[in-house]
Amino acid sequence: MKKYLVAFVIALFPLASFASGGAGPKLDHMAVDLHNQASLQRGMQVFVNNCLGCHSAQYQRYQRAAEDLGMPINLVEENLLLGNQKVGQQMTNTMLKEDSASWFGTAPPDLTLESRLRGPDWLYTYLRSFYKDSSRPWGVNNVVFPDVGMPNVLEYLQGEQVNHCSAEEAQHHEAKIDPLTGKMMGGCMSISKKGQQTTEEFDKTVYDLVNFMAYIGEPSKLDSQRIGTKVLIFLFLFFFVAYALKKEYWKDVH
Ligand code: HEC
């Protein structure tokens, strides 16, 4: 028994070192909720209006998203399609990779699988931790992604954020926003110029956006959950049928 216990503890070691994480700030946690259609719909709107200009989500079709998220096709056609796109098309843009690479230093990557690559917590924290830095080409830097080549495209909503600590110091604090002071990263970051949203509203906007990004990363997850429930119901009912059959077959044997 003891031997098994020791083996079990040793087997857990790699998990423990993984959980302790590497360097960098502690990320804010967000619980993805793929059943919250209203949130996913709002997230899609934020994504199309603010991100699709530079990034694509080329493995996702508008129509599939509209169907999965319960949005009427004509509303999506009227409000969310860019230029002369069709609803059956993938969510792409017309920016050429070579152009964007020369404008930004790095081409904006496709975001379909981004939430699987980085994880929702990383995205949720990244999109809220841009701060003013005049030494950078776009005038902003990011605590989670130092020297990032992306401008803070949601600044009009969040406002302008300043970092009172050195970038190094801010890295060591939790990304949580203090509800009393509205400051982030252990008091390092504060809003210096108001945007259109309060801190709470902005957190919600980013939550919806990342929720949507989690959905495009795994669109079949919604299907599998729906099918999974049906399978369980079927198995539950089938149990009674099987049991009745068994009784019937063995009746004469006993
Ligand atoms: C003006 C163009 C532009 C817009 C608009 C834009 N981005 Fe970016 N984004 C970039 C560029 C350029 C990079 C690459 C930065 C780098 O590697 O330094 C990037 C990188 C990223 C990354 C990190 C990718 C990685 O893992 O390395 C994420 C996540 C991201 N963008 C999300 C978003 C989201 C979400 C939106 C919409 C709210 C958005 N971006 C809007 C230009 C843009």
95, 150, 210, 230 from 52: Cα distances, Å: 10, 13, 14, 36
**Residues 93 and 54: beta-carbon distance below 8 Å:** yes
The predicted structure's pLDDT at residue 19 = 46
pTM assigned to the model: 0.83
Counting atoms of ligand 1 from 1, which one is nearest the CA of 209?
Answer: 35
Give the integer Cα–Cα distance in Å for 237 and 239: 5
Q: Which two tokens stand for residue 227?
A: 């099918």
Average predicted confidence (pLDDT) for the chain:
89
Q: What are 190-225's pLDDT values in tens digits?
A: 999 999 999 999 999 999 999 999 999 988 888 888
Q: Which of 68, 100, 65 is nearest to 79 (CA)?
A: 65
Annotate 95-118 with DSSP letters as a single string. --HHHHHHHHSSPPPP-TTHHHHH
Of the pLDDT bands very low, low, confident and very high (cuts 50, 70, 90), residue 100 is: confident
What's the CA gap between 45 and 208, in Å, rounded? 9
Residue 44: name the closest of 25, 60, 59 by CA: 60
165 is in an annotated binding site: no
**Where do the domains of the chain lie, and which CATH numbers do they carry?**
23-230 (1.10.760.10)
Best residue for ligand 1 mutational test, from 45, 54, 129, 130 (most atoms within 8 Å of Cβ): 54
Measured by CA distance, the residue closest to atom 41 of ligand 1 is 51
